[in-house]
């Protein structure tokens, strides 16, 4: 910490933390101060561009094995309410912020973020130039990293991080999945969210969800779409799932390398065509792997609440919440069907070609017939969603539950319900009409109820 920073800090109520360091395997080192638990943490460095939702990010099981850098400069200013957590405990390895707020102010706050992290033994560092760090990761790619409050030697830190285990090849989904089945229904919805969300409808569908690291808000979203959910471990045999006679199967988000989660995608291959299936994030990759597709590791991934995605079927653009470091290589699903792809016969590496052409292309997959590209990332032209045309199944790479993030993609829960109803137009939904479904904002008395809570 600089002398000027020390002088400024001495005039506030915030105590100075112990020295800490962050080292990346390519030799970059950043210094700051500890702002949570003491110790050392190893993981893959990544960054999230969300302006809020730090608790939801910290407790998202998809971050298992990773050190998260928050790009917004001050984190923790509205505190922590445990009912907003996405899992029982944080799964991330460490947290990097520019400034950690230790005196939060919010009517729902129960404790500060740094206290929450300390309770769960999460190592965090503040005072880092996060703009410089994010630029470095963006230019040089995701890589192994270490946060330490015990060792500040550059040489020692680099030796440790270069000897640490890579995220690639690890089955991290197995580390965050449930150990036995459990149910999630109306009684499990957070009571403290009632000021903003309308009561859930009575369940109409019986859904089995593969828990590869599922977020609580995703299960809540399924319940609010009329589903009674039973979660099962990541490697549950397909035969056992089908014995429950579900109306649909949901494939959850999750962490790590999809190639290593063979225990899930081998079962998904047996489920496709037998029951309606909806997958998100890692669940999307599991469906792609079941169809024989190739998955690539992205340079630095997509993480944040501001990623623009176009639905090629409706031509509507969604601002989406994302958290993944791997993605589908759409051409690997099969050759194009020209008569269903605007007459085009050759694949394009940048899928924004199809955005400009106004076409949702279709390939012929050797395992499951015709598969349509439905969603494309407008930032980098990568695949964000597919729909199987000959069986009832679809998936997206991003998150529809908006915790944290925008509600543009809420319609995907509605789409899953429509798929289980057997509707062919299940994805053709006006997101402008659906994005606030179930919310009480603007309803008479909603503001007064919130203020009096």
What is the band of 185 on the pLDDT scale with cuts at 50, 70, 90? very high
Tell me the pairing of strands 94-96 and 123-126: parallel
CB atoms < 10 A from the CB of 15, how many? Answer: 9
- 115 in a structural domain: yes
- Of the candidates 114, 281, 284, 375, the residue annotated as catalytic is 281
Q: Would residue 231 show up in a list of annotated catalytic residues for this protein?
A: no
What integer is the mean pLDDT of 389-408? 93
Are 138 and 198 contained in the same domain? no
CATH number at residue 109: 3.50.30.20
- When divided into structural domains, the chain yields a total of 2
Is 389 a residue whose pLDDT tops 80? yes
In the chain, what percentage of residues exceed pLDDT 70?
94
Per the CB < 8 A criterion, the answer to whether 338 and 329 are in contact is no
In a domain, 236, yes or no: yes
Q: Is beta strand 66-70 parallel, antiparallel or unpaired with respect to 40-48? A: parallel
Q: Which of 427, 420, 174 is closest to 282 using CA atoms?
A: 174
Domain, as residue range, for 271: 173-434
- The stretch 428-447 carries a mean pLDDT of 71
Q: Which residues contact 333 (CB under 8 A, 6 or more apart)?
A: 288, 291, 292, 293, 363, 365, 371, 386
Tokens of residue 160, six digits: 């440790």
Residue 217 and residue 150 in one domain: no
- With helix as H, strand as E and coil as C, how does the chain read? CCHHHHHHHHCCCCCCCCEEEEEECCCCEEEEEECCECCEEEEEEEEECCCCCHHHHHCCHHHCCEEEEECCCEECCCCECHHHCCCCCCCCCEEECCEECCCCCCCCCCECHHHHHHHCCCEEEECCCHHHHHHHHHHHCCCEEEEECCCCCHHHHHHHHHCCCCCCCCCCHHHHCCCCCEEECHHHCCHHHCCCECCCCCCCEEEEEEECCCCHHHHHHHHHCCEEEEEEECCCCHHHHHCCCCCEEEECCCCCCHHHCHHHHHHHHHHECCECEEEECHHHHHHHHHCCCEEEEEEEEEEEEEEEEEECCCCEEEEEEEEEEEEEEHHHHCCECHHHCCCCCCCCCCCHHHHHHCCCCEEEECCCEEEEEEEEECCCCCEEEEEECCCCEEEECCECCCCCCCCHHHHHHHHHHHHHCCCCCCCCCCHHHHCCCCECCCCCCHHHHHHHC
Q: Residue 290: pLDDT above 70?
A: yes
Q: Is residue 401 part of a domain?
A: yes
Distance, in Å, from the CA atom of 139 to the CA atom of 438, rounded to the nearest integer, reads 41
User: What does the alpha-carbon distance between residue 213 and residue 216 come to, in Å, rounded to a whole number?
Assistant: 10
What is the average pLDDT across 288-304? 96
Residue 441 has pLDDT above 70, yes or no: no
243 with 137, same domain? Answer: no
Confidence (pLDDT) at 433: 81
Phi, psi of 388 (to 5 degrees): -80, 125
Dist CA 230 CA 205 (whole Å) = 11
413, 224 Cβ separation under 8 angstroms: yes
Is residue 167 one of the residues assigned to a domain?
no
Give the residue numbers of the binding site for L-glutamine: 62, 254, 256, 282, 285, 323, 325-326
My answer on whether 269 and 410 are in the same domain is yes
Quick one: angle between helices 216-224 and 411-420, nearest 10?
60
Same domain, 277 and 228: yes
The residue annotated as part of the active site, out of 302, 347, 375, 399, is 399
* Residue 103 in domain: yes
Of 133, 162, 191, the position where a domain reaches its end is 162
* Percent of the chain surpassing pLDDT 90: 87
pLDDT digits (tens, 9 = 90+) for 111-169: 999 999 999 999 999 999 999 999 999 999 999 999 999 999 999 999 999 999 999 99
Mean pLDDT across the chain, nearest whole number? 93
Looking up residue 261, the CATH number of its domain turns out to be 3.40.50.880
- On whether residue 131 sits in a domain, the answer given is yes
Q: Are 65 and 129 found together in one domain?
A: yes
Q: Would you say residue 442 lies in a domain?
A: no
Integer distance in angstroms from the first to the last C-alpha of the chain?
42
Do 188 and 131 share a structural domain?
A: no
List, for residues 301-348, the tens digit of each pLDDT value. Answer: 999 999 999 999 999 999 999 999 999 999 999 999 999 999 999 999
Per-residue pLDDT tens over the stretch 53-106: 999 999 999 999 999 999 999 999 999 999 999 999 999 999 999 999 999 999
The active-site residue out of 136, 384, 401, 410 is 401
Whether 182 and 326 share a structural domain: yes
Do both 181 and 136 map to the same domain? Answer: no
pLDDT per residue over 263-282, tens digit each? Answer: 999 999 999 999 999 999 99
* 307 belongs to the catalytic site: no
Q: 247 falls in which pLDDT band (50, 70, 90)?
A: very high
Last residue of a domain, one of 162, 197, 229: 162
Q: What is the chain's Cα-based Rg? A: 22
Name residues whose C-beta falls within 8 Å of residue 119's C-beta, 6 or more positions apart in sequence. Answer: none
Binding residues: 62, 254, 256, 282, 285, 323, 325-326
49 inside domain: yes
Around Cβ 208, how many Cβ atoms within 10 Å? Answer: 22
Residues 335 and 422 in one domain: yes
pLDDT value of position 394 = 98
Q: Is 375 a catalytic residue?
A: no
Nearest CA to 218 out of 418, 406, 413 is that of 413
Q: What's the confidence (pLDDT) of residue 452?
A: 45
Shared-domain flag, residues 266 and 398: yes
Same domain as 307, residue 423: yes
| C-alpha triplet 287, 293, 296: angle, nearest 5° | 100
Cβ atoms 182, 363 nearer than 8 A? no
């Amino acid at each position: 910490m600089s002398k000027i920073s020390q002088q400024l800090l001495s005039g506030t109520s915030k105590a100075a933390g112990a020295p800490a360091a962050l080292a990346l395997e390519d030799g970059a080192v950043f210094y700051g101060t500890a702002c949570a638990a003491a110790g050392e943490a190893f993981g893959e460095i990544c960054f999230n561009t969300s302006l809020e939702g730090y608790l939801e990010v910290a407790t998202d099981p998809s971050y298992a094995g990773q050190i998260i850098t928050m790009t917004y400069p001050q984190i923790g200013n509205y505190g922590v309410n445990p009912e907003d957590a996405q899992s029982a405990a944080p799964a991330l390895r460490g947290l990097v912020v520019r400034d950690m707020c230790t005196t939060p102010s919010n009517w729902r706050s129960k404790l500060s973020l740094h206290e929450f992290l300390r309770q769960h033994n999460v190592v965090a560092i503040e005072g880092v130039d996060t703009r410089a760090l994010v630029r470095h990761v963006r230019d040089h790619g995701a890589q192994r990293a270490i946060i330490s409050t015990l060792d500040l030697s550059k040489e020692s830190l680099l030796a440790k991080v270069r000897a640490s285990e890579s995220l690639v090849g690890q089955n991290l989904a197995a580390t965050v999945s449930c150990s036995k089945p459990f149910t999630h229904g109306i009684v499990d919805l957070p009571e403290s969210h009632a000021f903003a969300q309308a009561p859930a409808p009575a369940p109409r569908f019986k859904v089995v969800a593969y828990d590869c690291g599922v977020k609580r808000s995703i299960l809540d979203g399924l319940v609010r779409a009329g589903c009674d959910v039973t979660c099962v471990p990541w490697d549950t045999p397909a035969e056992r799932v089908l014995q429950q006679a579900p109306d649909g199967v949901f494939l959850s988000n999750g962490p790590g390398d999809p190639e290593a989660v063979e225990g899930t995608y081998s079962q998904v291959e047996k489920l496709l065509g037998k029951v309606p299936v909806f997958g998100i994030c890692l669940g999307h990759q599991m469906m792609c792997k079941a169809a024989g597709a190739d998955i690539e590791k992205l340079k630095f991934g997509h993480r944040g609440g501001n990623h623009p995605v176009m639905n090629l079927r409706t031509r509507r653009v969604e601002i989406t919440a994302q958290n993944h470091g791997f993605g589908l290589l759409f051409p690997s699903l099969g050759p194009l069907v020209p008569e269903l792809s605007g007459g085009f016969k050759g694949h394009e590496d940048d899928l924004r070609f199809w955005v400009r052409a106004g076409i949702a292309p279709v390939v012929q997959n050797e395992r499951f017939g015709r598969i349509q590209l439905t969603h494309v990332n407008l930032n980098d032209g990568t695949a964000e969603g597919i729909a199987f045309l000959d069986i009832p199944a679809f998936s997206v790479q991003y998150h529809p539950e908006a915790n944290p993030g925008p509600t543009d993609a809420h319609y995907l829960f509605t789409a899953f319900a429509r798929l289980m109803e057997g509707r062919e137009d299940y994805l053709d939904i006006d997101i402008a009409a659906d994005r606030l479904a179930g919310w009480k904002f603007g309803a008479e008395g909603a503001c007064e109820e919130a203020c009096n809570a």
